[in-house]
Amino acid sequence: MKLFNCFWLVRNLDLYHYDIRSLAGIENFKNLKTLSLEENKIEDLSPFSGLRKLKELNLCNNNIRDISTLVHCKNLKKLNIEGNKIKDLSPLTKLKKLKKLNIYNNDFKHISDLYNCKKLKELYIYHPQIMDYKQLSNIPNLKTLYVNYFETNSDDIQELQNYLPNCKIEVIWGYIF
């Protein structure tokens, strides 16, 4: 029983590749600031509603379709949702402190919901998901854009740079976050 009294002490938790399917109980870690759940089988994020102190969250490579519960994590500054099945990015508009975001390899068709992420400075994206590069110029404080090596050519980079003159375009190979 004493073990369960210590949840409030935990600030950082790394549960990489544990085949986790359910997050039941995670709501007991009220003081978590950093959480990595990369490479699991998570679908439901509803237990996140109580994690209001969370600043960094890695949900890379799970089975997530709905991120609406993340609106309760108002202190998030870094979010990695790469490699999921997310179609709707609109909940991200509620994350006013978000500075770094990886949305690479998901199912969304546009990024207009990111326009309200005023503090967003770094964005990782698989650029063919964006049909119109002009959309990126509407993210006001974007300083660095990371795009995929395999899907990028010099003409694409030049076009991106034309729309984002104050943004550094980085071509990446593989996973970086």
The per-residue pLDDT for range 30-54, each reduced to its tens digit, is: 999 999 999 999 999 999 999 999 9
> 12: domain range?
2-126
Residue from 67, 61, 64, 98 nearest 82 by CA = 61
52-78: pLDDT as tens digits: 999 999 999 999 999 999 999 999 999
**What's the Cα-to-Cα distance from 84 to each of 23, 87, 100, 128, 140, rounded to whole Å?**
16, 9, 17, 16, 26
How many domains are contained in the chain?
Answer: 1
Tokens of 69: 């519960």
The DSSP element (H or E) to which 155 belongs, if any, is helix 154-163
pLDDT for 134? 77
Buried b (16+ CB within 10 A) or exposed e, 107-130: ebeebeebebbeebbbbbbbbebb
Q: What's 103's domain CATH number?
A: 3.80.10.10
